[in-house]
A and B are shown apart, each in its own frame.
Chain A
Amino acid sequence: MSDLPDLPYIADKPAPRESVDALRARIPGWGVDLDPADRPAVPREQHAPEGTGAHWDFPDRQPELSPRERSIEHSMLTPVFGTVAPLRGVSGAVRRYAYRYSEARAAHWLLLIAGDRIDSVGSHVKSFATLRPDNPLTETGLLAEFRYQGLRSRIGRRRVDGYHAWLDPIIVAGPWVVAGIVTVKLAGKLLSAARR
Chain B
Amino acid sequence: MRAMVYRGPYKIRIEEKDIPRIEHPNDAIVRVTKAAICGSDLHLYHGLMPDTRVGTTFGHEFIGIVHEVGPSVEKLAVGDRVMVPFNIFCGSCFFCARGLFSNCHNVNPNATAVGGIYGYSHTSGGYDGGQAEFVRVPFADVGPSVIPDGLDDEDALLMTDALATGYFGAQLGDIHEGDTVVVFGAGPVGLYAAKSSWFMGAGRVIVVDHLEYRLAKAREFAHAETYNFAEHDDIVVTMKRATDHLGADVVIDAVGAEADGNLVQHVTAAKLKLQGGSPIALNWAIDSVRKGGTVSVMGAYGPIFSAVKFGDAMNKGLTLRMNQCPAKRQWPRLLEHVRNGHLKPSDIVTHRIPLEEIAEGYHLFSSKLDGCIKTIITTDAA
Contacts of A115 in B (CB 8 A): 51
Kindly supply a per-residue 1/0 record for chain B positions 357-368, scoring 1 wherever the CB is within 8 Å of any chain A CB and 0 otherwise. Answer: 001111110011
Q: Find chain A residues with CB under 8 A from B370 CB.
A: 148-149, 153
Looking at B28-36, B153-161, B182-190, B337-345, the stretch in contact with chain A turns out to be: B337-345
Taking a contact as CB atoms closer than 8 A, the residue among B25, B203, B263 that contacts A163 in the complex is: B263
- B177 contact set on A, CB distance < 8 A: 20, 31, 34
Q: Contact check, B330 vs A23: say whether CB atoms are below 8 A apart.
A: no
B98 touches A46 (CB 8 A): yes
Cα A73 to Cα B228 with chains together (Å)? 43
Question: CB within 8 A of B50: which of A109, A135, A139?
Answer: A109
Near A by CB (< 8 A), chain B positions 308-364 give: 326, 329-334, 337, 340-343, 359-364
* A41 beta carbon closer than 8 Å to chain B: yes
In the complex, A46 Cα to B330 Cα: how many Å? 14
Specify which chain B residues have a CB less than 8 angstroms from the CB of A164 in the assembled complex. 263, 266-267, 271
Give chain B's interface residues, CB within 8 Å of chain A.
Answer: 7-13, 23-26, 47, 50-57, 72, 74-75, 88, 90-92, 96-101, 105-113, 116, 122-123, 125-128, 138-139, 141-142, 168, 171, 174, 177-178, 196, 198-201, 203-204, 210-212, 223, 228-231, 243-246, 260-261, 263, 266-267, 271, 273, 276, 290, 302-305, 326, 329-334, 337, 340-343, 359-364, 367-372
Q: Are B7 and A120 in contact (CB under 8 A)?
A: yes
Point out the residue from A31, A63, A95 that lies within 8 Å of B201, measured CB to CB: A31
Additional A-B contact list (17), CB under 8 Å, known A70-B109, A140-B11, A148-B372: A7-B245, A17-B204, A23-B198, A30-B198, A40-B332, A44-B99, A60-B25, A71-B109, A71-B112, A80-B24, A117-B47, A120-B8, A124-B8, A139-B12, A142-B363, A144-B360, A148-B369
Which A residues between 57 and 78 are near B, CB-CB below 8 angstroms? Answer: 57-60, 62-63, 68-71, 73-74, 77-78
- Closest Cβ–Cβ distance, residue A26 to chain B (whole Å): 7
**Does B113 lie within 8 Å of A103, measured CB to CB?**
yes
Question: Does B113 contact A32, Cβ atoms closer than 8 Å?
Answer: no
Chain A binding site: helix, strand, loop or mixed by DSSP? Answer: loop
Task: Report chain A residues within 8 Å CB of B368.
Answer: 153, 159, 161
Given A40-B329, A52-B142, A112-B123, A139 and B13 contact (CB-CB distance below 8 Å): yes
Q: Are A16 and B55 in contact (CB under 8 A)?
A: no
Contacts of A135 in B (CB 8 A): 13
CB atoms of B126 and A52 under 8 A apart:
no
Residues of B within 8 Å of A134, CB to CB, are: 7-8, 11, 13
Shortest CB distance A57–B (Å): 6
**Is A128 part of the contact surface with B, judged by Cβ < 8 Å?**
no
Q: Quick one: closest A residue to B55, CB to CB?
A: A85
